[in-house]
Amino acid sequence: MTRFLLISLLLLGCAETSTPDVQPRVVRPPDSQSLDLSQALPPQDGGVDVMGFDYGVNDIKSPLEDIITPIEDAIPPIQDAIPPIEDAIPPIEDATPPIEDATPPIEDAIPPIEDAIPPIEDAIPPIEDAIPPIEDAIPPIEDAIPPIEDAAPTCGQRWADEIVINQPNDFTLGGQAARFHDPGFAYGFFHTFNGLQAGGVGDAPRKVHVLLPRRYEDDPSIRYPVVYMNDGQTVFWDDGPYEGKTWDAAARMSALTPCDIEPVILVAIYPLNVGREYTHARWSDDPDAACCAVEGYAGYLAETLKPFIDAHYRTQPQRALALGAAHGGLAAFITAALHPQAFPQAAALSPSFWAGLDIDHVPSPAPLAGGALLGLVEAGLSASRPKLWIDWGLVRDGQAHNDEIEARVAARAEELRGLLTRDYGYIEGVDLFTYADPEGQHEEASWGARLGRVLAIFYPAGDAG
């Protein structure tokens, strides 16, 4: 490369100048390698066409030392071309800052533990701030539960403020001998007719208990609805053929309050013959099993006993209820259907709707529709549609009274419910109420246990008729 530069400078300087007999001079730059210029100059004996010029040795007019710049000027010393290493690469101490500058002190990079994690008392508020005082979290009990006088209607909580029991005494009412007695039930006291002949001398005497509300004699202006209960021998006491079997109705009524039901008068009528008075058709193959006189008994209730009770007690005649269980439930249903003006409502608990079909509780494929029962009551159901309660028990425990009798009761009761709603215009929850008791059995204790539920349908608390 250096040789090419020298020849180019020589040619440019000699283009118009010539110096005869001048020998080239070798210039040795200090500290430089000697250059053989004979390889850089054109030959002596003639011109050579280089870059379009004719020239020769004789054309050189200036000394060679004037034409060729000393090598030390053409090429700067190596120390000038390449800066000292200390200038090209900054001192290591400038390129890499001291370790103490590159990495901040550990105390600066990681804040003190007391700054990174706030004091425990700042991170977790005092327990008294996080959890409000118990008196703020839970309102005082007197605020959470309203006073009893606000929670319950002001209908009175007891049948009487105190019970004053008078000695039993005999008296006469409507020409009929009666006995006053007060066993101390909270609900009320009794008038018992041991041989009532409500229809006069020709009427067969029968025993009748009348349970009157405890306050009955306190206010002569108050009149009461009356519930007529069949099988009177087991309504209040076990005075029937089955020892220990009773509804215990006086105790059941005493367990209720005026907030549960409206006070009523209960009239319990002893039957003269259950099978005969309470059924409409043959119900057993036993030749001694009486039947089929329920129409006469229903007439007695509507036309003889009820007028006597209405005449001698302060009643609400238009609100009477016929009530019974088993055969007595069948009789109550028939009574209301045949005499809806006297008994606009009936409650039939575990009723014997199977009578006339499932003889001795043996299932029969014959339907209720078109049978003797509906043939007897159809006109009354269609014309008056008395308000009805019908229930049955669901206990099946291997005992005949539940697995056979109550099973037939349930099957026929459900069948009748379907007929009443489909063919007679009844509406459940309006004029028809049914209940399948999961703990119900075919016995007086179960019927007594449901008494309050039944009465609450017909005589709810606060209803004065």
Domain of 191: which CATH number? Answer: 3.40.50.1820
Helix (H, G, I), strand (E, B) or coil at 438: coil
What torsion do the CA atoms of 133, 138, 141, 142 make, to the nearest 10 degrees? 90
Domain termination site, one of 88, 116, 143: 88
In a domain, 142, yes or no: no
Domain of residue 36 covers 2-88
| Pairing mode of beta strands 345-349, 387-393 | parallel
In a domain, 147, yes or no: no
222 vs 170: CA distance, rounded Å: 24
> What's the total number of domains in the chain?
2
Asked if 15 and 42 touch (Cβ cutoff 8 Å), the reply is no
In a domain, 129, yes or no: no
Q: Same domain for 76 and 182?
A: no
Q: Same domain for 213 and 360?
A: yes
Q: Same domain for 69 and 176?
A: no
Asked if 266 and 272 touch (Cβ cutoff 8 Å), the reply is no
245 vs 235: CA distance, rounded Å: 9
Domain termination site, one of 88, 110, 132: 88
Q: Same domain for 307 and 211?
A: yes
pLDDT digits (tens, 9 = 90+) for 64-98: 444 344 445 544 444 554 455 455 445 545 544 45
Q: How far is CA 216 from CA 187, 235, 268, in A?
A: 10, 21, 18
Domain termination site, one of 37, 61, 88: 88
Q: Same domain for 82 and 212?
A: no
Q: What is the chain's pLDDT, residue by residue, as a tens digit (465 residues)?
A: 444 443 343 334 434 444 344 343 333 444 434 434 344 334 444 443 433 334 343 443 444 444 344 445 544 444 554 455 455 445 545 544 454 554 455 455 455 545 555 554 555 555 455 555 545 544 454 454 444 344 444 555 789 888 888 899 999 999 999 999 999 999 999 999 999 999 998 899 999 999 999 999 999 999 999 999 999 999 999 998 878 999 999 999 999 999 999 999 999 999 999 999 999 999 999 999 999 999 999 999 999 999 999 999 999 999 999 999 999 999 999 999 999 999 999 999 999 999 999 999 999 999 999 999 999 999 999 999 999 999 999 999 999 999 999 999 999 999 999 999 999 999 999 999 999 999 999 999 999 999 999 999 999 998 766
Q: Same domain for 82 and 173?
A: no
Q: Same domain for 265 and 384?
A: yes
Q: Retrieve residue 238's tokens.
A: 């076990």
Q: How does DSSP classify residue 25?
A: -
Q: Same domain for 74 and 180?
A: no
